[in-house]
Amino acid sequence: MNYNKKTVKDIDVKGRKVLLRCDFNVPQDKATGAITDDKRIRAALPTIQYLLDQGAAVIACSHLGKPEPSFDKWAKKQAEKGKDPASLTKEKWEKTLEALCMEPVAKRLGELLGRDVVLAGDVVGPDAQAKAAALQPGQIMLLQNTRFEKGETKNDPELAKAMAGLAGEDGVYVSDAFGAVHRAHASTAGVAAHLPAVSGFLIQKELDFIGGALANPKRPLVAILGGSKVSSKIGVINNLLEIADTIIIGGGMAYTFSAAKGGQVGDSLLEEDWKDYANDMVKKAADKGVKLLLPVDTVIADKFAPDADSKVVKAGEIPNGWQGLDIGPDTVKLYCGAVADAGTVIWNGPMGVFEFEKFAAGTKAVAEALSKTTAITIIGGGDSAAAVAQMGFADKMTHISTGGGASLEFLEGKELPGVACLLDK
Residue numbers annotated as active site:
40, 229, 382, 405
Instruction: Tell me which residue of 213, 222, 221 sits closest to 334, measured CA to CA.
Output: 222
Cα atoms in the 13 Å half-sphere on the side-chain side of 311: 8
Contact 299, 352 (CB under 8 A): yes
117-119 and 57-61 beta bridge pairing:
unpaired
Instruction: Tell me which residue of 79, 102, 104 sits closest to 92, measured CA to CA.
Output: 79
> Cis link prior to 220 (omega < 30° from 0)?
yes
Q: What phi and psi values does residue 397 have, to the nearest 5 degrees?
A: -90, 145
78-107 exposure pattern, b = at least 16 Cβ within 10 A, e = fewer: beeeeeeeeebeeeebeeebeebbbebbbe
Tally of CB atoms within 10 A around 350 = 30
Helix 39-53 vs helix 103-113: angle between axes, to the nearest 10 degrees?
60
Which residue type sits at 421? C
Q: How many angstroms separate the CA atoms of 300 and 294, rounded?
A: 16
Cα 339 to chain centroid distance, Å, stands at 24
Contact 195, 172 (CB under 8 A): yes
Contact 118, 140 (CB under 8 A): yes
Kind and range of the H or E element at 140? strand 140-142
